[in-house]
Amino acid sequence: MLSTVPALCARGEDQRLGEIKEDFLQKKENAMKFWSNADTPSENTQVPERRLLAAVLQRAITDYLTGDGDLRDTAEAWLIHDQPEDAPLTFKFICEALDLDYPSLKEAIRSQGSSSQGTGNTASNAMAQAAN
């Protein structure tokens, strides 16, 4: 009789673990659907993930427009030359996730970069130019 108690407990734990795993997978699937532009709510919801992506983009633009040496070169490679192509968060991916027009923003950044050599243009200027 006592030997069946651990077996029943183990079966109950396995069932509970299965429920937890199923719940996790469902939540993960729902979270990933959010990143699809087609499923993104039309209102401008500022969820933390979107704010983080916007901060990454703003930092890269700032580094490109105002940085020097390797910092600027690395930002230029990521923004203008789409390198590295195998990076988990590419410039194009972030633009799509934030519903930004990738070609227009890329051109605005390139334009600001060519005219900002030492003039203090910022990431906000480039993003505003792309919005016009």
Instruction: Please check whether residues 22 and 59 belong to one and the same domain.
Output: no
Instruction: With cut-offs at 50, 70 and 90, classify the pLDDT of residue 5.
Output: very low
Question: What pLDDT does residue 114 have?
Answer: 82
Q: Are residues 29 and 86 in the same domain?
A: no
Q: Quick count: other Cβ atoms within 10 Å of Cβ 46?
A: 9
Using CA atoms in the order 113, 115, 118, 119, what is the torsion angle rounded to 10 degrees? -110
Residues 70 and 100 reside in one and the same domain: yes
CA distance 110 to 25: 41
Report the number of distinct structural domains present in the chain: 2
Provide mean pLDDT across the span 60-78.
94
Is the peptide bond prior to 103 cis by the omega test (within 30 degrees of 0)?
Answer: no
Same domain, 18 and 73: no
Confidence (pLDDT) at 21: 67
Measure the CA–CA gap between 87 and 78, rounded to whole angstroms. Answer: 9
What is the model's pTM? 0.55
What backbone torsions phi and psi does residue 44 show, to the nearest 5 degrees?
-80, 80
51 with 97, same domain: the answer is yes
Domain enclosing residue 120, as ranges = 43-131
Residues 63 and 95 in one domain: yes
Indicate if 50 and 83 belong to the same structural domain. Answer: yes
Residues 52 and 24 in one domain: no
Q: How confident is the model over 18-28, as pLDDT tens digits? A: 677 676 656 65
DSSP code at position 67? -
Indicate whether 25 and 81 sit together in one domain: no
Phi-psi region of 69 (alpha: psi -120 to 50; beta: other; left: phi over 0): left
